[in-house]
Structure 1
Amino acid sequence: MSEKEKEVSTGGSSRRDFIKNSAVAAAGFMIVPRFVLGGKGFIAPSDKLMIAGVGAGGKGESDIAAFSKSPRAEIAYLCDVDDRRAAKSRERFPKAKYYKDWRELLDKEGKHIDAVSVSTPDHNHAIIAYHAMAMGKHVYVQKPLTHDIYEARMLTEAAKKFKVVTQMGNQGASNDGTRQLAEWYDAGLIGDVHTVYAWTNRPVWPQGIPWPATKSEVPKELDWDLWLGTAPQKDYVDKLVPFNWRGWWDYGTGALGDMGCHLVEAPFRVLGLQYAKDVQASVGTVYVDEFKQGRFPESCPPSSHITLTFPKTNKTKGDITVHWMDGGIQPERPEELGANERFGDDGNGTLFIGTKGKMMASTYSRDPLLLPTSRTKEVSAPQKYKRVPGQENGHYVQWVDACLAGYGKMEVSSPFEVAGPLTEALLMANLAVRGHELKGGSSLKLIWDNANMKVTNFEAANQFVKRQYRQGWNLTA
Structure 2
Amino acid sequence: MKKNKPNNSRRDFIKASATALAGFYFVPRHVLGGPGYIAPSDRLRVAGIGVGGMGGGDVRGVFASGKADFVALCDVDTNRAKGSVDAHPKAKFYKDYREMLEKEHKNIDAVTISTPDHMHAVQAMAAMQLGKHVYVQKPLTHNIYEARMLTEAEQKYKVVTQMGNQGSSGDGVRQMVEWYNAGLIGEATRVYCWTDRPVWPQGIPWPTATATPPANLDWNLWLGVAPYRDYVDNLHPFNWRGWWDYGTGALGDMACHNMEAPFRVLGLDYPVAAECSVGSVYVGEFQRGYFPESCPPSSHITLRFKREGKEDLRFHWIDGGIQPSRPDELGPNEVMGDGGNGVIIEGTKGKMMCGTYGANPQLLPTSRTKEVDVPQTEYRVPGGAGGHYNNWVEACIAGYGSKEFERLSSPFSVAGPLTESVLMGNLAIRSYDYREPRNDGSNRFNYPGRGIQLVWDGPNMKVTNFEPANQFVKRKYREGWSL
CA shift at 1:41, angstroms?
Answer: 1.2
Partner of 1:130: 125
CA distance in structure 1 between the aligned counterparts of 2:158 and 2:279, rounded to whole angstroms: 43
Query: Would you say 1:153 and 2:153 are equivalent positions?
Result: no
SS of 2:375 mapped into structure 1: coil
Query: Would you say 1:337 and 2:339 are equivalent positions?
Result: no
Q: Is contact 2:49–2:114 with CA below 8 Å preserved after alignment?
A: yes
Partner of 2:81: 86
**Which segment is superposed worse, 329-338 or 437-446?**
437-446
Query: Would you say 1:456 and 2:464 are equivalent positions?
Result: yes
For 1:282, give the aligned amino acid: S
Partner of 1:430: 426
For 2:109, give the aligned amino acid: D
Q: Is contact 2:77–2:218 with CA below 8 Å preserved after alignment?
A: yes
Partner of 2:318: 325
What's the % identity of the aligned pairs?
65
Q: Is contact 1:435–1:444 with CA below 8 Å preserved after alignment?
A: no
Query: Would you say 1:139 and 2:134 are equivalent positions?
Result: yes
For 1:173, give the aligned amino acid: S
Query: Would you say 1:112 and 2:107 are equivalent positions?
Result: yes
CA distance in structure 2 between the aligned counterparts of 1:95 and 1:29, rounded to whole angstroms: 36
SS of 2:307 mapped into structure 1: coil
Alignment map for 1:189-268 (pairs within 5 Å): 189-268=184-263
SS of 1:124 mapped into structure 2: helix
For 1:400, give the aligned amino acid: V
CA shift at 1:250, angstroms?
Answer: 0.1
CA distance in structure 2 between the aligned counterparts of 1:27 and 1:357, rounded to whole angstroms: 60
SS of 2:387 mapped into structure 1: helix
CA distance in structure 2 between the aligned counterparts of 1:256 and 1:33, rounded to whole angstroms: 51
| Match among 264, 271, 279 for residue 269 of structure 1 | 264
CA shift at 1:451, angstroms?
Answer: 2.0
SS of 1:287 mapped into structure 2: coil
Structure 1 pair 293–27 and aligned structure 2 pair: CA distance change class (3 A): closer
For 2:282, give the aligned amino acid: Y
CA shift at 1:379, angstroms?
Answer: 1.4
CA distance in structure 2 between the aligned counterparts of 1:371 and 1:417, rounded to whole angstroms: 32
Query: Would you say 1:281 and 2:289 are equivalent positions?
Result: no
CA distance in structure 2 between the aligned counterparts of 1:270 and 1:37, rounded to whole angstroms: 46
Q: Is contact 1:134–1:162 with CA below 8 Å preserved after alignment?
A: yes
CA shift at 1:45, angstroms?
Answer: 2.5
Gaps of 5+ in 2: 1-20, 436-446
Query: Would you say 1:312 and 2:307 are equivalent positions?
Result: yes
| Match among 33, 37, 50 for residue 42 of structure 1 | 37
Q: Is contact 1:142–1:168 with CA below 8 Å preserved after alignment?
A: yes
Partner of 1:407: 400
CA shift at 1:442, angstroms?
Answer: 2.7
For 2:420, give the aligned amino acid: E
For 1:307, give the aligned amino acid: T
CA shift at 1:28, angstroms?
Answer: 12
| Match among 464, 467, 470 for residue 478 of structure 2 | 470
SS of 2:311 mapped into structure 1: coil
CA distance in structure 2 between the aligned counterparts of 1:347 and 1:70, rounded to whole angstroms: 31
For 2:393, give the aligned amino acid: V
CA distance in structure 1 between the aligned counterparts of 2:86 and 2:337, rounded to whole angstroms: 38
Q: Is contact 2:74–2:96 with CA below 8 Å preserved after alignment?
A: yes
CA deviation vs aligned residue, 1:395-418 (integer Å, no higher than 9, x gap): 100100001111011220001011
CA shift at 1:29, angstroms?
Answer: 11
CA distance in structure 2 between the aligned counterparts of 1:73 and 1:61, rounded to whole angstroms: 15
CA distance in structure 2 between the aligned counterparts of 1:248 and 1:449, rounded to whole angstroms: 27
Q: Is contact 1:192–1:317 with CA below 8 Å preserved after alignment?
A: no
For 1:317, give the aligned amino acid: K
CA distance in structure 2 between the aligned counterparts of 1:117 and 1:291, rounded to whole angstroms: 47
Structure 1 pair 27–304 and aligned structure 2 pair: CA distance change class (3 A): closer
CA shift at 1:31, angstroms?
Answer: 3.8
| Match among 50, 53, 56 for residue 48 of structure 2 | 53
Structure 1 pair 391–27 and aligned structure 2 pair: CA distance change class (3 A): closer
**Which segment is superposed worse, 173-182 or 339-348?**
339-348
Partner of 1:353: 346
Query: Would you say 1:98 and 2:93 are equivalent positions?
Result: yes
For 2:479, give the aligned amino acid: Q
SS of 1:393 mapped into structure 2: helix
SS of 2:310 mapped into structure 1: coil
CA RMSD of aligned residues (A): 1.5
Q: Is contact 2:171–2:385 with CA below 8 Å preserved after alignment?
A: no
Query: Would you say 1:365 and 2:358 are equivalent positions?
Result: yes
CA distance in structure 2 between the aligned counterparts of 1:40 and 1:378, rounded to whole angstroms: 44
CA shift at 1:84, angstroms?
Answer: 0.9
Query: Would you say 1:392 and 2:385 are equivalent positions?
Result: yes
SS of 1:364 mapped into structure 2: helix
SS of 1:338 mapped into structure 2: coil
Partner of 1:446: 454
CA distance in structure 2 between the aligned counterparts of 1:300 and 1:444, rounded to whole angstroms: 19
For 2:98, give the aligned amino acid: R
Q: How many residues are matched? A: 448
For 2:450, give the aligned amino acid: S
SS of 1:293 mapped into structure 2: coil
CA deviation vs aligned residue, 1:222-255 (integer Å, no higher than 9, x gap): 0111100000000010010000000000000000
CA distance in structure 1 between the aligned counterparts of 2:30 and 2:187, rounded to whole angstroms: 53
CA shift at 1:455, angstroms?
Answer: 0.6
SS of 1:282 mapped into structure 2: strand
CA shift at 1:323, angstroms?
Answer: 0.2
CA deviation vs aligned residue, 1:117-156 (integer Å, no higher than 9, x gap): 1100000000000010011000110000000100000000
**Which segment is superposed worse, 287-296 or 42-51?**
42-51
For 2:374, give the aligned amino acid: A
CA shift at 1:391, angstroms?
Answer: 1.4
Q: Is contact 1:189–1:356 with CA below 8 Å preserved after alignment?
A: yes
CA distance in structure 2 between the aligned counterparts of 1:282 and 1:168, rounded to whole angstroms: 29
**Which segment is superposed worse, 255-264 or 34-43?**
34-43
Q: Is contact 1:53–1:116 with CA below 8 Å preserved after alignment?
A: yes
